[in-house]
Structure 1
Amino acid sequence: MATGKRLTSGWTRGDKRRRQVAGFVVCINNTEYPASLELHKIYRVLADEDARREGDVRVVDESGEDYLYPAEWFALLRAR
């Protein structure tokens, strides 16, 4: 189960425990949260195994806070 309080909108605000940066993603869909997510912007992803199992990613968004969003809204960036 993901940490934080589940909201009816489908995202969860992260808890205040320190999480490790797991990588970076680019937003490919922001239709439900245009104020929080900028299309084509690169975002940090924080490690959250529970979120991954549920098909979500924990992203630090425009507010500077980390939230869960559907993984399908992002494309994973891989360094070479």
Structure 2
Amino acid sequence: MTKSRSKQLVICVNNEGYAASLEKRKIYEALRDPAAEKHGMLRIVDESGEDYLYPKTLFRSIALPLATKRAVLAA
């Protein structure tokens, strides 16, 4: 599996309660974390490269063409 395929991209659709941390309509990288997912949470990487847990309901998965996904992850 390539590095870009192992990373999931999500878009924030609601930042209620997290307005200082999350931007609506912004694309984020989500790291797979089975333990967090069991509790309805996603591990999201922010601009600093740090990852934090947020409710999964604040995000929607997005599918991009491979070339676009690679470009987003490389940016």
Q: TM-score, normalization: structure 1?
A: 0.66
**Which runs of at least 4 in structure 1 moved beyond 2 Å after TM superposition?**
61-64
Which residue of 60, 64, 70 corresponds with 1:79?
Answer: 64
Matched, 1:23 2:8: yes
- The Cα RMSD (Å) is 1.6
- 1:65 CA displacement: 1.5
**How many equivalent pairs are there?**
60
Q: Which residue of 2 aligns with 1:61?
A: 46
Which residue of 31, 42, 54 corresponds with 1:46?
Answer: 31
- 1:64 CA displacement: 3.5
Contact 1:25 1:76 in 2 (8 A): yes
In structure 2, the gaps of 5 or more residues are 1-5, 66-75
Contact 1:29 1:74 in 2 (8 A): yes
Percent identical among aligned pairs is 48
- 1:63 CA displacement: 4.7
Q: TM-score, normalization: structure 2?
A: 0.70
More helix per residue: 1 or 2? Answer: 2
